[in-house]
Amino acid sequence: MPDALAAVILAAGQGTRMKSSRPKVLHEVAGQPMLNHVIRGAQMLGATPIIAVIGHGSEQVRAACAAPGVNFALQAEQLGTGHALQCAASALAGFAGNLLLLCGDVPLLRAETLQELLDHHRAEQATVTVLTAILANAHGYGRIIRGAGGVEKIVEEKDATPMERSVGEINTGIYLFAAPRVFALLAGLTNDNAQGEYYLTDVIAAARAAGERVAALAVAEAEESMGINDRIQLAQAGAAMRARINTAHMRAGVTLIDPVATYIDPQVTIGADSVIHPGVHLHGNTVIGRDCVLEPGVIVTDCTLADRVHVKAGSVLAEAQVGADTDIGPMAHLRPGTVLAGENKIGNFVETKKATIGTGSKASHLTYLGDAVIGAGVNVGCGTITCNYDGVHKHVTIIEDDVFVGSDVQFVAPVRIGKGSLIGAGSTITRDVPPDALAITRAEQKTIEGWAARKRKKREERGVRGKE
């Protein structure tokens, strides 16, 4: 299959300039390790297999970036980019076709750009096609040296003559190669250069020397090819990625009050006419419906929100499902396993965890609902607590439909409250309550008339004597 496509992603380097104990490719851009953005690009092109060459922190990288269709090859010692590709050779044994080479620290490249590069490579029937960029400041990059017959070679900054350094067209480090031909060319490389490394860039001169075709394509937006070497570039790439994500949402009909201060991960989807206020973070596989409002400082991770959900300021939601027409917050905390059927109100300082709550039920203030199964039409009063943990095991509280729970009630689980019952304020419920009952556990009120006045008088008398 000459048209088959495989990808190799170079990700073994340490990233010294990050000054980090974490491998460079695991630093996050828009909420995801930068390597994952690169993997997604290769996946979108349909490359298979995808081989990530890892070295520094390889176990961490493997754990963080494992994905279907992604294999890992180890480069135990970092002897250069050419050597890194060689390390993927055995994983590609028997592969014949186009080989896309990506760098784990170049996360902004769009799949459309990679597709253009692939189309160009196919049209040119080249042994190597390099993606280049024209930069105002080319410092640090390999320069593209062109002659009468096209690209002749790439010269690294450290090996370049002053003449070569004046060239503004640079090597982005992204290529398409003919495989397995590229591995034969790699085998002939030496490390006779300023850095004593096996340079992948030398494949170009080698292909030319063998009389083979070398092609080049300049990327339209140079920013896409930006490589991340330090934390300043990491922040710049994050801002660029967010701008791209946020622009797409706005084009699709989402209002972002201040896109610069809105943090949305790439996989998140948002329905039209939703309004996202500043300081909102939407992470992971979050789905937001239509006509939702997310007020300032809301943080949502791996949640599904149906239409017309209003999340008020400062609320934090994780692994929760929220039905339509629900109001949450301000400052509510929906923790994993929360399932709200819809038309719910979860008010300020309410925390839910592993709680299923039926249609129209409300917990408006200062409440903890954990390991709870709550029916429809339930009113949970202010200050209610499900006591779900006995120090060893978690237990479930079941509250059936249309129960009215007064304020300041504790449910000591396991306990079940029957449909339509009423729980008196201030009760500690330790036993099941049948349907349509009243349960109340308060001690009876004792009122002693005049007691406070007498006490005050005594205090005054003592005070007068004290002064004499």
Inter-CA distances, 59 with 12, 22, 25, 96, Å: 11, 11, 13, 29
According to CB under 6 A, which one of 52, 65, 84, 413 is a site residue for ligand UD1?
84
Q: How far apart are CA 106 and CA 15, in angstroms?
A: 13
Q: How far apart are CA 211 and CA 97, in angstroms?
A: 19
- SS3 assignment, position 79: coil
Query: H-helix or E-strand containing 402?
Result: none
- What type of residue sits at position 127? T
- Is residue 10 at the binding interface for ligand UD1, with CB under 6 A as the rule? yes
- What type of residue sits at position 266? P
Q: How many residues does the chain have?
A: 468
**Does the bond joining 266 to the residue before it have cis omega, within 30 degrees of 0?**
no
CB of 188 to ligand UD1, least distance (A): 16
Name the burial class of residue 287, with classes exposed (0-12), middle (13-18) and buried (19+) by CB atoms within 10 angstroms of its CB. middle
- Is residue 341 at the binding interface for ligand UD1, with CB under 6 A as the rule? no
Quick one: which segment of 166-174, 283-291, 374-382, 400-408 binds ligand UD1 (CB under 6 A)?
166-174
CB of 73 to ligand UD1, least distance (A): 10
- Is residue 13 at the binding interface for ligand UD1, with CB under 6 A as the rule? yes
Closest to ligand UD1 by CB, 197 or 343 = 197
Q: How far apart are CA 217 and CA 175, in angstroms?
A: 10
Closest to ligand UD1 by CB, 142 or 279 = 142
Which residues make Cβ contacts (< 8 Å) with residue 350, sequence separation at least 6?
332, 333, 363, 364, 365, 366, 367, 368, 369
- Residues in region 192-251 near ligand UD1 by CB under 6 A: 199-201, 227
- Which of Ca ion, ligand UD1, none does residue 53 bind to, with CB < 5 to 8 Å depending on kind? ligand UD1
Q: How far apart are CA 43 and CA 64, in angstroms?
A: 17
- Is residue 407 at the binding interface for ligand UD1, with CB under 6 A as the rule? no
According to CB under 6 A, which one of 78, 233, 255, 441 is a site residue for ligand UD1?
78
- Is residue 79 at the binding interface for ligand UD1, with CB under 6 A as the rule? yes
- Is residue 132 at the binding interface for ligand UD1, with CB under 6 A as the rule? no
Residues labelled catalytic: 365
Residue 272: other Cβ atoms inside 10 A: 12
- Is residue 12 at the binding interface for ligand UD1, with CB under 6 A as the rule? yes
According to CB under 6 A, which one of 26, 37, 72, 83 is a site residue for ligand UD1?
83
Closest to ligand UD1 by CB, 200 or 433 = 200
Closest to Ca ion by CB, 191 or 233 = 233
DSSP per-residue string spanning 154-180: EE-GGG--HHHHT--EEEEEEEEEEET
Closest to ligand UD1 by CB, 201 or 326 = 201
According to CB under 6 A, which one of 172, 315, 348, 356 is a site residue for ligand UD1?
172
- Is residue 175 at the binding interface for ligand UD1, with CB under 6 A as the rule? no
Gyration radius of the chain over CA positions: 32
Strands (E), 26-110: 28-29, 32-33, 50-54, 70-74, 97-103
- Is residue 58 at the binding interface for ligand UD1, with CB under 6 A as the rule? no
Quick one: which segment of 60-68, 76-84, 178-186, 259-267 binds ligand UD1 (CB under 6 A)?
76-84
- Which of ligand UD1, Ca ion, none does residue 95 bind to, with CB < 5 to 8 Å depending on kind? none
CB of 129 to Ca ion, least distance (A): 20
CB of 303 to ligand UD1, least distance (A): 33
Q: How far apart are CA 314 and CA 90, in angstroms?
A: 51
**Which residue's CB atom is positioned nearest to ligand UD1?**
142
- Is residue 57 at the binding interface for ligand UD1, with CB under 6 A as the rule? no
- SS3 assignment, position 316: strand
**Does the bond joining 2 to the residue before it have cis omega, within 30 degrees of 0?**
no
- Which of ligand UD1, Ca ion, none does residue 348 bind to, with CB < 5 to 8 Å depending on kind? none
- Say if residues 73 and 55 touch (Cβ distance below 8 Å): no
- Is residue 111 at the binding interface for ligand UD1, with CB under 6 A as the rule? no
- Say if residues 138 and 167 touch (Cβ distance below 8 Å): yes
- Say if residues 361 and 344 touch (Cβ distance below 8 Å): yes
- Which of ligand UD1, Ca ion, none does residue 84 bind to, with CB < 5 to 8 Å depending on kind? ligand UD1
- Which of Ca ion, ligand UD1, none does residue 78 bind to, with CB < 5 to 8 Å depending on kind? ligand UD1
CB of 227 to Ca ion, least distance (A): 4
Give me the residues that bind ligand UD1 (CB under 6 A), please: 10-13, 53, 75, 78-81, 83-84, 103-105, 141-142, 154, 156, 170-173, 199-201, 227
